[in-house]
Structure 1
């Protein structure tokens, strides 16, 4: 009996004809009639995902990996129709070619094509082209519908902070709406966006996606016409930070505004005046130019310290990037004239005596068996997932209690053996203090000499994973790599 994998995809819940259950039942029936065996672990399903892009379909990618793995001995991939495999002709050709190299055929159970017929190549290409045409045409139709809804003032996106979705409209979230009014009023009265960002985070508020507030998200809030009672829809689906997009459709919505006309106008007037005094945002010229860039971390939030300004007489000041964006509440400003000598002095002491207790540091020893360790760790994770899936199968009534117990017993035994091997490999690592001291001295020579900044950065990165700066304790801790 030949082994096959089943791939099932449905892009929307209302596609009854192509529901996962219908597709799977038809595929299993086809497999039974055509002498194919489909193991449970070779049934892959992407639900609510478009077939336009293969990279965005996790089950599809897992199916391709499984099919190309020689030890699985998969002979074919069964799909309901070829458009379930892909609605993008380029993707279809690419992945079918990869599978063909491994001797794996893609078979549509509803579009039978004789595998040895020369006409099959043309016919299959026609089906793929028709699937892509359907997808492109559907995309255009969806966009037309969205445009019509936008002109009617229907809200078509996830509700912003301060609201919750309610069919085609929005309802106010009282606590968040109060904060929105506070932000607008404070900004209109002269409070900076930076200060408002910090206050939102300090008071425990999170964005609608559960993230901390940033300068740009507060700026967007102040320019979001939804709070003024209007819906804005952009055909491209993207909104730049100018907010004045000619192609955008702005229409009066049916929901209650949080911000009245007077406050909205005052905020927009102040924002426009501020924009005239500022250049478009760009990354600072100082970013990434020093061998310390990206290596010094804030002890409060863990983010990198960035160069905030350079001194006229040389040197620079660093500050926590999170603090600069209002996401960290503790300033970690420090002068390079203090920080660099402290780091170099610590490295010199470590070079003289790697086991010294006089300075605050730790060494992560590289393991020559790191590749095998990573592989075993991955195997342990996969086996743990196997137990979880077996339990789900039992609870769903797919497997019996005896089948679940046997899977759990063999899997736990396998995990135990893998963990023993992992422990043995970890114990094999060694640390050569003399060799490490020599390595640190060479790095010191490089970063203290006339080498280029790139060479200094490379040398420093060879031995230093990160430097944690604690301003309150006036201390640094080096995390080194052997």
Structure 2
């Protein structure tokens, strides 16, 4: 008997006539009548998955992989209808062409086409085009239905913080609902900012419904979400990217219990609008991300970077603050003025260069960069060896030809040779003796560049990073701890 495979697919919109069991029954009956043998291991299925994208169907991908293995000797793939194989014409043409190279053909139980008939090519293409049209039309009909539901005020998304879904209706979660009211009242009254509210939520142990911590944008989303005043908001064009006033959005009165009054929601919205007129929410200080100290000073409480949070009105000085604290993820303020930071940092570097070890707190980590480099190269070598092993498996399985395997092996061997040379060079660096005098001179040279007012910001950044890995600022003790690079 001729060996064949069966492929079954059911998406959520299919009728019970085309259930997996119904499809399989028809396929097995067709196979028996026409002299095809389908082993159990060659029955592949995707349930509840659309046919519009082949790469999102694991059963389909496994079926293609098994059908292309020469040792399996599969000659046909049998489907209930051609639209079960693919509803995307490009996918249908691509995968049928791949299978054809290995001598595998696709047959339909309900749409038999003579395989030796020239008209079969045209007829099969027509069926594929009709399947794609049906899929596109179905998507359009589904969208129309969703728009209609949105206009009727039905909620069509994951329940937000404060609610759960019971019997297809948003239902308040008492503890979370209390916190939603607290957020609105505290913000509308002007007593709390968004980041202070996010910090309080995290301190009390609350998490979003996705398990994340509360941030500025989390509170911002809550304060802009009309669901809390009893209205649904749905945008048919897709993601709004935090454009809460998108003109395409459909906003309608819902039938669930609101958590805040219309007046309170509007009061919070009015404060948001007032602050928009006086603040640029996405604008950073000009020096942030451009100063040579950026990302180098760390918070002792959470290890996040201190970011430039503002500038002095009458001088070039600026203020730093823990980025985590700004987003409500760290509970210890680490505010620091550059007028205090730079003198303390320069004195610390000078004392290190002069060997005054008792007056400063620092660590010289020798080979820190080389060790990291060595580990990364070793990981790359391991991954590269895995590639050649997989290429060999593909050749033995009949997926790749001998010529394809040979070309892959040549390229991988050349890459392994280059990586091995880099690894040897990195390891040799680790055994160089440490020259403290040379290191001291390097520190003094860096210090000279940092204090040179004519030196560019880029040269200062490069010089500082050549000797400093990070600086930890301990606000309670008012101290700096330096982690230096020894080579």
Interval of TM-score (by shorter of Structure 1 and Structure 2): 0.5 to 0.7
Alpha carbons of 1:30 and 1:307: their partners in 2 closer, same or farther (altered >3 Å)? farther
- Partner in structure 1 of residue 375 of structure 2: 366
Alpha carbons of 1:138 and 1:475: their partners in 2 closer, same or farther (altered >3 Å)? same
- Partner in structure 2 of residue 385 of structure 1: none
CA distance in 2, matches of 1:16, 1:342: 79
For residues 11-50 of structure 1, what are the structure 2 equivalents within 5 Å? 11-12=11-12, 15-27=15-27, 34-38=35-39, 40=41, 44-50=44-50
Partner-residue secondary structure (3-state), 1:256: coil
- Partner in structure 1 of residue 428 of structure 2: 432
CA distance in 2, matches of 1:67, 1:343: 68
Superimposed CA distance per residue, residues 258-299 of structure 1 (whole angstroms, 9 cap, x where no aligned partner) = 101221221111111112223363677666657887788767
CA distance in 2, matches of 1:214, 1:195: 9
Superimposed CA distance per residue, residues 79-135 of structure 1 (whole angstroms, 9 cap, x where no aligned partner) = 433323322223333343444455554444443334443323222221221111111
- Partner in structure 1 of residue 117 of structure 2: 117
- Partner in structure 1 of residue 214 of structure 2: 213
Partner-residue secondary structure (3-state), 1:366: helix
Q: Tell me by how many angstroms 1:56 deviates.
A: 3.8
Pair member with larger Rg: 2
Note if 1:255 corresponds to 2:256: yes
Alpha carbons of 1:265 and 1:434: their partners in 2 closer, same or farther (altered >3 Å)? closer
Superimposed CA distance per residue, residues 375-415 of structure 1 (whole angstroms, 9 cap, x where no aligned partner) = 788999xxxxxxxxxxxxxxxxxxxxxxxxxxxxxxxxxxx
- Partner in structure 2 of residue 400 of structure 1: none
Which stretch of the first structure deviates more once superposed, 209-218 or 105-114? 105-114
Note if 1:186 corresponds to 2:166: no
Q: 1:308 touches 1:319 (CA, 8 Å); kept in 2? A: yes
Q: 1:467 touches 1:479 (CA, 8 Å); kept in 2? A: no
- Partner in structure 1 of residue 203 of structure 2: 202
CA distance in 2, matches of 1:210, 1:372: 36
Unaligned stretches of 5+ in structure 1? 349-356, 381-427
- Partner in structure 2 of residue 132 of structure 1: 132
- After TM superposition, the score normalised by the length of structure 1 is 0.68
Superimposed CA distance per residue, residues 182-216 of structure 1 (whole angstroms, 9 cap, x where no aligned partner) = 00000011111111111112211111222222212
Superimposed CA distance per residue, residues 304-362 of structure 1 (whole angstroms, 9 cap, x where no aligned partner) = 665556799889876554433223334566768589989999x99xxxxxxxx963575
Q: 1:11 touches 1:50 (CA, 8 Å); kept in 2? A: yes
CA distance in 2, matches of 1:105, 1:344: 74
Q: 1:169 touches 1:253 (CA, 8 Å); kept in 2? A: no
CA distance in 2, matches of 1:91, 1:296: 52
- After TM superposition, the score normalised by the length of structure 2 is 0.67
Unaligned stretches of 5+ in structure 2? 354-361, 390-422
CA distance in 2, matches of 1:161, 1:201: 14
For residues 49-448 of structure 1, what are the structure 2 equivalents within 5 Å? 49-61=49-61, 63-64=63-64, 77-101=77-101, 103-190=103-190, 191-279=192-280, 281=282, 289=290, 308=309, 320-331=322-333, 337=342, 359-360=364-365, 362=368, 363-364=371-372, 365-366=374-375, 370=379, 373-374=382-383, 431-434=427-430
Q: Tell me by how many angstroms 1:470 deviates.
A: 6.8
CA distance in 2, matches of 1:375, 1:51: 35
Superimposed CA distance per residue, residues 13-47 of structure 1 (whole angstroms, 9 cap, x where no aligned partner) = 7642333344445555556665455563x655443
- Partner in structure 2 of residue 391 of structure 1: none
CA distance in 2, matches of 1:271, 1:453: 38
Aligned residues: 423
Q: 1:307 touches 1:319 (CA, 8 Å); kept in 2? A: yes
- Partner in structure 2 of residue 413 of structure 1: none
CA distance in 2, matches of 1:379, 1:326: 47
Q: 2:297 touches 2:473 (CA, 8 Å); kept in 1? A: no
CA root-mean-square deviation: 5.0
Alpha carbons of 1:88 and 1:431: their partners in 2 closer, same or farther (altered >3 Å)? same
